[in-house]
Amino acid sequence: MEMIKKGAEAEIYITEWKGRKIVIKRRIKKGYRIKELDEKIREQRTKKEALLMMSARKAGMSVPIIYDLHINNKEIFMQYIDGERIKDVIDGMEEEMQRKICEEIGKSIASLHKNGIIHGDITTSNMIWMNDRLYFIDFGLGMKSRENEDRGVDLHLLMEAFKAAHKNKNLFKWVFEAYKKNFEESKEVIKKVDEIARRGRYMRGVA
Partner 1 sequence: MICLGIEGTAHTIGIGIVEKEGDNCKILANVFHMYKPDKGGIHPRESANHHTKYFPKILEESIEKSNIHIKEIDLIAFSIGPGLGPCLRTTATAGRTLSLLLKKPIVGVNHCISHLEIGRALTKCSDPVLLYVSGGNTQVIAFMDGKYRVFGETLDIGIGNCLDKFGREVGIKFPAGPEIERIALRGKKYIQLPYSVKGMDVSFSGILTASLLLTKKEDIEDICYSLQETCFCMLAEVAERAMAHTEKEEILLGGGVACNKRLQEIVKIMAEERKAKFFCPPDEFLVDNGAMIAWTGLIMKESGMEMSIDETKVRQNYRTDEVDVKWR
Binding site for partner 1 (CB under 8 A): 7-9, 30-34, 36-37, 40-41, 120-121, 141, 200-201, 203-206
Q: With respect to partner 1, which residue has the nearer C-beta, 95 or 195?
A: 195
Q: Fill in the amino acid letter for 176.
A: F
Shortest separation between residue 17's beta carbon and partner 1, angstroms: 27
Q: With respect to partner 1, which residue has the nearer C-beta, 169 or 201?
A: 201
Shortest separation between residue 83's beta carbon and partner 1, angstroms: 24
Q: What is residue 29's DSSP assignment?
A: P
Q: Is 114 exposed, middle or buried (0-12, 13-18, 19+ CB in 10 A)?
A: middle
Q: With respect to partner 1, which residue has the nearer C-beta, 36 or 132?
A: 36
For residues 144-175, one letter each, b for 16 or more C-beta atoms within 10 angstroms of the residue's C-beta and e for the rest, the string is ebeebebbbbbbbbbbbbbeebbebeebbebb
- The Cα diameter of the chain in Å comes to 53
Spatial contact of 11 and 3, defined as CB atoms under 8 Å apart:
yes
Shortest separation between residue 174's beta carbon and partner 1, angstroms: 25
- Active-site hit among 38, 68, 91, 121: 121
Q: Fill in the amino acid letter for 96.
A: E
38 part of the active site:
no
Q: With respect to partner 1, which residue has the nearer C-beta, 99 or 119?
A: 119
Shortest separation between residue 201's beta carbon and partner 1, angstroms: 7
User: Measured between alpha carbons, how far is residue 43 from residues 27, 77, 107 in Å?
Assistant: 9, 15, 32
Q: Fill in the amino acid letter for 63.
A: V
CA distance 190 to 179: 10
Residues taking part in catalysis: 121
